Structure 1
Amino acid sequence: MSIRLRGHHLLCLMTYVGRGYTPAFTANYDAIVARLDAGEPVRLVEGPDDVCAPMLGGGHHCLNASVTERDARARAALAGLFGGGFAPGDLIDLSAPRVAAMRAAFASGASRAACAGCQWTRLCDDIAAGGFRRVRLAGAAGDLSLPGDLSLPCAPRNRD
């Protein structure tokens, strides 16, 4: 199994503290975080994903052009961090070192251009400025080895 995530939700995960659009959305997000922390990989997708699932029936913004543009900006911002080729279909393991590297990039602003226009930006800014206290995602404790510099985690796994 894998968790289907769109590009910008990889950034949202870095600052997720249990706040969301609705109680159902938050409960779903908490379940996704638990699966990620247990080592389940992410399958990068275009369009609505597993995080969006509770919101799809209500005409929410998941299908808006501005959101798909945010996904593209997030994929581009994270491509360098993941060794390029950050494309839909890729499988990505979110180990604790990778999550730490993504948070470092987020805190430094290296991946923040993707967040332009997001209604949650101020909350995420506060969480990053506070050292990511109370965030829910720890990252999988499985394979903690990471070749080279921790700021450049491994490339995504094959799409197979």
Structure 2
Amino acid sequence: MVKRSEKPVKLRGHHLLCLLGYRGMGYSAEYAANMNAVHERLRTEPETAVALVLGADDLCSCFPADQPYHCDSDTVARRDAAVLERLGLEPGQSLAWSELLRRIAAAVSPADVPLWCASCPWLQYGVCEEGVALVRAGGGLRPLGQD
């Protein structure tokens, strides 16, 4: 059941995977603080509604102005499309985070992450693959600070 009492979290396709591997790193302190808040909300309230969007989302909203803005790039859009296609989803849909985790567990493997995210600066850390593996094993989002 989707939690309707609060505004849904707006996420683009590939950020579904980024959240699985998130360990507190970010492009800036503001970006990390925003991502921490989204991550913690989804971790502690898995029935939170997630609205799937095309393009910039609630995480992109805090991307630092002093860095090259990649949120509208074709590479990122292709990454989003690949993730959503694998999950059988489209922008405009809204699902509970718990349902998204179920779909990821059933359809995504850790080996997919380097294929989709080859140009991502966070790929070298391997945390997204670890996050996908954890979800496939029946887990959810890891509490921040647990490595």
TM-score, normalised to structure 1, is 0.66
What secondary structure, in the 3-state scheme, does the structure 2 residue paired with 1:92 have?
Answer: strand
**1:70 Cα deviation from its structure 2 partner:** 1.2
Distance 1:136 1:30 in 2: 15
CA distance in 2, matches of 1:106, 1:124: 15
What fraction of aligned residue pairs are identical, expressed as a percent?
33
**1:40 Cα shift?**
1.6
Q: 1:88 aligns with which of 91, 97, 102?
A: 91
Residues 8-19 of structure 1 mapped to structure 2, 5 A cutoff: 8-19=14-25
- Unmatched segments (≥5 aa) in structure 2: 1-6
- Within the candidate set 118, 124, 141, 1:137 is matched to 141
CA contact (8 A) 2:51 2:94 kept: yes
State the Cα distance separating 1:90 from its structure 2 match. 0.7
Call closer, same or farther: CA 1:29–1:126 in 2, change over 3 Å: closer
- 1:15 and 1:30 mapped to 2: Cα distance? 12
Q: Is the 8 A contact 2:10 2:58 kept in 1?
A: yes
Alignment match of 1:121 (pick from 90, 100, 123)? 123
Distance 1:71 1:33 in 2: 18
Deviating 4+ runs (over 6 angstroms): none
- The RMSD of aligned alpha carbons is 3.0
Residue number in structure 1 paired with 2:53 = 45
Contact 1:61 1:67 in 2 (8 A): yes
Is contact 1:18-1:26 (8 Å) kept?
A: yes
Q: Can you list the C-alpha shifts for 1:36-85, whole angstroms capped at 9, x where unaligned?
A: 13232110000000011111644411111111111111112222xxxxxx
Equivalent position amino acid for 1:18 in 2: G
Summarize the Cα distance change of 1:55–1:99 in structure 2 as closer, same or farther, 3 Å threshold.
Answer: same
Q: Secondary structure at the match of 1:63?
A: coil
Q: SS in structure 2 opposite 1:116? A: coil
**Whole-Å separation in 2 of the counterparts to 1:112 and 1:101:** 19
Q: Structure 1 stretches of 5 or more lacking a match?
A: 80-85, 140-160
2:13 aligns with one of 7, 14, 36: 7
Aligned to 2:4: none
Q: Is the 8 A contact 1:15 1:128 kept in 2?
A: yes
| TM-score normalised by length of structure 2 | 0.71
Aligned residues: 129
